[in-house]
Every structure is written in structure tokens, then in C-alpha cells.
């Protein structure tokens, strides 16, 4: 059985030698590298996926479709609805203006 009265002060002194810089170093390394990952290849893939996300989502274009309360539409909305209305008019052999109205 170990002599706790003799060992505890030594262990306490040893634990005081670990500074905040040591702990910060360990945590930054553990968040950067996970067990089993190949460092450079995994990091390259992660970086490329972030670049793809920026190009697809953040730099992409978004055009809102504007509908008025009185039944009117914005120009972009008219362009969007024109194609399906034309297809429906051809399919049902109805005039385009009755389908779009």
C-alpha cells in the first residue's frame, strides 16, 4: 500500500508544473488533429469542401419571387411561371392567356 502522506505532496508539486500554456497546447492540438486522420489529406479535403461551400452557397445568386397583394407579379416571377404555363397550355390545348391568368 502506498504511503499517501509522502506521495500526495510530490504529486501536487508535479501537477503545479503543468502551466496554462501546456493545457492550451494540448487542447489546440487535440481539436486540430483527431485520432486516425491522415493530417494533410484530410485537411486538404476539409479545406476544399469549405471552398466549395463558399462558391455554392455564399457566392450563389438568389432571386426572390415577388407577388403583389392585388395579384400582380414581379418581372422575375413572370419569367419563372411563363415556361410551366406554356407547357400546361400545350398539354391541355388551352390558350396560354387563360392558363397564366
Contact between 47 and 61 (Cβ < 8 Å): no
Q: What is the pLDDT of residues 33-67, one digit of tens each?
A: 555 556 777 878 888 888 888 777 776 777 788 88
Longest dimension (CA), the chain: 98
For the cut 70, the answer to whether the pLDDT of residue 93 exceeds it is: yes
- Calpha distance 65→75 (Å, rounded): 9
Contact partners, residue 95, CB within 8 Å, separation at least 6: 89
Pick the range with the lowest mean pLDDT from 24-33, 61-70, 80-89.
24-33
Grid cell of 55 as nine digits: 462558391
> How wide is the angle at C-alpha 40 spanned by C-alphas 34 and 44, nearest 5°?
100
Predicted TM-score (pTM) of the model is: 0.36
Is residue 2 within 8 Å of residue 10, measured between CB atoms?
no
- Name every residue whose Cβ is closer than 8 Å to that of residue 64 and which is 6 or more positions away in sequence: 76
Cα angle 35-39-45, degrees, rounded to a multiple of 5: 110
Amino acid at each position: 500500500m502506498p504511503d499517501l502522506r509522502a506521495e500526495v505532496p510530490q504529486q501536487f508539486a508535479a501537477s503545479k508544473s503543468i502551466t496554462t500554456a501546456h493545457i492550451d497546447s494540448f487542447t489546440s492540438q487535440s481539436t486540430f488533429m483527431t485520432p486516425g486522420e491522415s493530417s494533410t489529406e484530410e485537411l486538404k479535403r476539409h479545406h476544399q469542401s469549405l471552398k466549395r461551400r463558399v462558391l455554392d452557397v455564399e457566392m450563389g445568386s438568389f432571386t426572390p419571387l415577388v407577388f403583389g397583394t392585388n395579384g400582380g407579379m414581379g418581372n422575375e416571377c413572370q419569367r419563372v411561371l411563363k415556361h410551366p404555363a406554356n407547357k400546361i397550355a400545350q398539354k391541355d390545348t388551352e390558350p396560354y392567356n387563360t392558363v397564366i391568368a
